[in-house]
Amino acid sequence: MAVDFGFVLAQAFSPFNLLLAVIGVVLGTVIGALPGLSATMAIAVLVPFTFAMDPASGLIMLGAIYTGAIYGGAYAAILVNTPGTPSAIATTFDGYPMAKRGDGDLAMTLATLASVVGGVVGALSLITLSPLLANIALAFQSSEYFWLAILGLTLIASLSSGNVLKGLIGGAFGLILSMIGVAVIGGDTRFTFGSSALLGGIDIVSALIGLYCIPVLIDLVARPDRHLEPAPLGRGFRLFEAVGLCVGNGVNLLRSSVIGTLVGILPGAGGSIASLVSYSEARRASRNPERFGRGEPGGLLATESANNATVGGGFIPTLVLGIPGTPPDAVILGALLVQGIRTGPELFTQQNGIAYIFMFGLLIATLMMLPIGLFIGRYAYRFIVNTPKALLVPLIAFMTVVGSFAIHSNPHDVVVMVAMGVLGWLLGLAGFGPSPIVLGLVLGQIAEQGFMRAYMIGGARGNFGGQLLFDRPISWAIVALILVTLAFPVLRRLRRSREAGSEVRS
Amino acid sequence: MLKKLGLFAAMIAFTAVTGAAMAFPDKPINYIIPFNAGGESDISARLQQPYFKKLTGQDLIIQYQAGAGGAQAWSVLNDQPGDGYTMMGTNLPHIIMQPMLQDPGYKTEDLVNIYMFHFTPDALIVRADSEYETLQQVIDAAKAAPGALTVGGTATNTANHLANQRLADLTGAEMTYIPYTGTGATIPALLGGEVELLWGYTTVAAGQGDKVRMLAVAQDKRHPLFPDVPTFKELGIDMVGGAYRGIAVPSSTPEEVRKELSGIIGKINADPDFIAQMEQAGFAMLDIPYEEMDAFMAERKKLYEEIARQLGSLK
């Protein structure tokens, strides 16, 4: 039975559903912009309300909140150098330097445009290619996750150009942090020093808030200059400039959106890996890689399009296979189950077309992010720029505490946040950036578990090498990417020294 | 004036006391789930929600306090007010295994369980196109090449991990157990062919439909949703178990309130509509009220201790 698309469109565009999409995007953006309040949390809180609606409307609202929250994560990343969610880690690399030098308005507009492009690519892939792409989730096994995590870790080398050694030390420290707690594989208790509060390990989001936000707050207090350079009065959204940059970065946007969609499909990866990989690819492909990390619009466009593309991508295995692609998808999947809706191929052929109503709803919500985001973004930017430091610092400090408490409603996470923050500040004084530590923390667990599983399975089959790499073509491709990433800075230096040499001669 | 106020206060206090005695609960109850939203604990709590409202007129407010495999929430349960308006989901084998293996900040005896209301029976699952049609084929293959078959499951020292060891004890079929983070991550591992088999639950098979095949379930009787799948018992293997889910209250909760709450959960569990919804999702019903809890916990604890010792997790 084919789905009646006229009916689907009429449903998706019904005034009530449009209203829900608007409310969802606004709520999601605000929640995502506050450090610590995540998409997962927003969705979990709102799930009971959707039980009172018909399933399609409820799903549209949840999808709209989700996509809004991922987009909203860019706000805190750009304006206060704090990734509210792991997806926005890479957004701080170029977004905050842009805001710092007075291009915050441009950065916000670019983030909005990139998020819409990424979200649309993800949603269109969801609508058109779902059953085909869902199999990617199955093709990636433990060894591929291991190599993906290693690929993410290689970014440390290129991120800390000029100070690779400190970057590597930071990364190694992050890896050690990732081992704290009860190991998933083996069940050993590691580095808890007898404290039962550490059994669950270091929560990634509280570490993110601490490492990124607290040093910014301390600097704000310690230094007399303004937090961000204000934009000249009367400057608008800088929309035309932003659109121009997007057109110039067309290939970058498209590539990042596709990477985001594909990585979103992988249940073990998520937005952090998607935005890191696309950032690293954008940097490699760029003619001016040295500008990355110093406020290069291309870097911002890459990460923001990639992380919003994971929304649509993540729904692909959720709806087709019943395997949640990301944590918020798991909550939505649970909500579907309670409503008595079964996921799987049947969902796509059901006569009421609920899957398609939802997917078009998600597309509409993504498009609505453009006007809503431009408006809220401008307001948020003005607020952060114009609020006096004496007011801004306590306000953000309060939010960091609320945000880290809200993760698990546990005061322990607040302690972790503050401890990581002070540590991050001290390490920052010594020249260690927060990003390598965070990459080690986020990717360490994925890498460790991937490797251990490949090791155990390979051991059982008596073919460890084959299981880890040799029999696995996808792993070959990722390893090739790793080698290219590692060789890239070396090659560049060689070329530069050759150019310098020829200049001297001439 | 002051006298009047005092009288008024006394009146309110009086109605509050008698009101509580007459109709418990008279305000919403906090129901803390020690895991993230979207898991089996969350789904079953969400299914209970409307029936609780229907029965008592009060809302169940579901909150999440995930961390350390549930230990973060369980270690602070007894700090909550014991007025009957806070209760928390508990899971077996977690609340027995965790204190047995390390110090998670609570002891098994600290948790006052008032009801165990369902379990997700262990099930051995293969892909629909797998060469293994019966449990016996798996056992034969595992005996022919000990440890060569890989079987996925959730984390270490969990229900899945214990089930694998229990099967090895009872049949001599040794398989290599591969731990994953959460039930969700095990499914692509099975469907993608990374592992040959999966220790999962009936809920997993219910969610995956005809893409997977269950070889046996660890229940006393066959699950109504899967009338064709034999139980381990039918096949001569004494395995009944899985992940049990119940509800606990802070230890300061008075005896009569514990019984009252236990009674309410029991009534929800007896509602035919609730049972139908739960079984449709793959859950198996269980009725261990407050009065029978100690015996049940003692029996499970003995079993888990024995398996943990064999696993080498417990010295």
Domain at B250, CATH number: 3.40.190.150
Q: Which helix (H) or strand (E) holds B123?
A: strand B112-127
> Residue B198: its chain A contacts at CB < 8 A?
none
pLDDT given at position B21: 45
Query: Is the Cβ pair B47, A184 closer than 8 Å?
Result: no
| Domain-embedded: residue B233 | no
pTM: predicted TM-score of the whole model, two decimal places? 0.86
Q: What is the pLDDT of residues A417-447, one digit of tens each?
A: 999 999 999 999 998 888 899 889 988 988 9
Give the integer Cα–Cα distance in Å for A439 and A149: 9
Instruction: Answer whether residue A355 is part of any domain.
Output: yes
Total Cβ atoms within 10 A of residue B296: 17
Neighbours of B106 (CB within 10 A): 20
- Strand positions, DSSP E, A129-211: 181-182, 189-190
Predicted confidence at residue A193, as pLDDT, reads: 86
Is B174 within a domain?
Answer: yes
B120 — pLDDT class (breaks 50, 70, 90): very high
Q: Tell whether A218 is covered by a domain.
A: yes
> One-letter amino acid identity for A267?
P
Rounded to a whole number of angstroms, the distance from the CA of B260 to the nearest CA of chain A is 26
| Residue B125 three-state SS | strand
Shared-domain flag, residues B106 and B186:
no
**Does B54 fall in a domain?**
yes
Query: Has residue A40 been placed in a domain?
Result: yes
Q: How far apart are CA A265 and CA A315, in angstroms?
A: 7
> CA-based Rg of chain A, rounded to a whole angstrom?
22
Residue A454 lies inside a defined structural domain of this protein: no
Angle A411-429/A389-406 helices, nearest 10 degrees?
130
pLDDT in the model for residue A162: 65
Q: Give the tokens for residue A130.
A: 């779902």
Closest by CA position to B203, among listed B150, B282, B145, B128: B282
For residue A117, is pLDDT > 80? yes
Residue A254 lies in a domain: yes
Both B156 and B108 in one domain: the answer is no
Task: Report the pLDDT averaged over residues B7-28.
Answer: 58
The structure tokens listed for B31 are 């129901």
pLDDT band at B48 (very low <50, low <70, confident <90, very high): very high
pLDDT digits (tens, 9 = 90+) for B77-104: 999 999 999 999 999 999 999 998 888 8
Burial of B96 (0-12, 13-18, 19+ CB in 10 A): buried
Q: Provide the CA A290 distance to its chain's centre, in angstroms.
A: 23
Mean pLDDT (whole number) for B269-290: 93
Residue for token pair 């970065």? A249
Quick one: average pLDDT of A314-325? 86
Is residue B177 located within the same domain as residue B274? Answer: no
Put simply, the answer to whether A410 touches B209 (Cβ < 8 Å) is no
Do the Cβ atoms of A283 and A292 come closer than 8 Å?
yes
Q: Using a CB-CB distance cutoff of 8 angstroms, which residues of chain A are in contact with residue B205?
A: none
Q: How far apart are CA A352 and CA A8, in angstroms?
A: 8
Q: Please compute the mean of the pLDDT values over residues A366-393 and round it to a whole number.
A: 90
Same domain as B15, residue B34: yes
Number of CB pairs < 8 Å for A and B?
155
Instruction: Please state the domain count of chain A.
Output: 1
For residue A21, what are the domain limits? 5-140+206-432
**CA-to-CA distance for B217 and B210, rounded, in angstroms?**
16
A487 CB near a chain B CB, below 8 Å?
A: no
Both B106 and B131 in one domain: the answer is no
Whether B298 is in a domain gets the answer: no
C-alpha dist (Å) from residue A73 to A69, A86, A184, A254, A291 = 6, 9, 29, 21, 23
| pLDDT at res. A368 | 93
* Same-domain check for residues B195 and B136: yes
Count of domains observed in chain B: 2
First to last CA, chain B: 70
Cβ count within 10 A of residue A283: 26
Residue A496 falls inside a structural domain: no
B30 lies in the same domain as B104 = yes
pLDDT of amino acid A340? 72
Of B37, B66, B192, the CB nearest to A334: B37
The model's pLDDT over A120-166, given as tens digits with 9 standing for 90+, comes to 999 999 999 888 888 888 888 899 999 989 988 888 877 766 688 88
- Preceding omega of B25 cis (within 30 degrees of 0): yes
Write out chain B residues lying below 8 Å of A410, CB-based: 65, 67, 72
Any domain includes B224: no
Is residue A423, in this structure, part of any structural domain at all? yes
**CATH number of the domain encompassing residue B148:** 3.40.190.10
Q: pLDDT band for position A319 (50/70/90)?
A: confident
Residue A190 included in any domain:
no
B99 and B162, same domain (yes or no):
no
How, if at all, do strands B112-127 and B212-217 pair?
antiparallel
**Burial classification of residue B314, based on how many CB atoms lie within 10 Å of its CB (0-12 exposed, 13-18 middle, 19 or more buried):** middle
Report the C-alpha gap between B185 and A323 in whole angstroms: 8
Write the CA distances from A15 to A10, A57, A361, A363, B68, integer angstroms. 10, 11, 12, 15, 44
Residue whose pair of structure tokens reads 């007129």 in the numeric block: B57
Higher local confidence (pLDDT), B13 or A198: A198
Please provide the DSSP assignment of A373-432 as one string.
HHHHHHHHHHHHHHS-HHHHHHHHHHHHHHHHHHTTT-HHHHHHHHHHHHHHHHHHHTT-
CB contact under 8 A, B191 and A321: yes
Residue B231 lies in a domain: no
Alpha-carbon distance of A177 to A207, in angstroms, equals 10
Calculate mean pLDDT across residues B281-290.
93
pLDDT classification of B14: cutoffs 50, 70, 90: very low
Residue span of the structural domain in which B194 resides:
120-217
B160, pLDDT greater than 90: yes
Element (H, E) at B154: strand B150-154
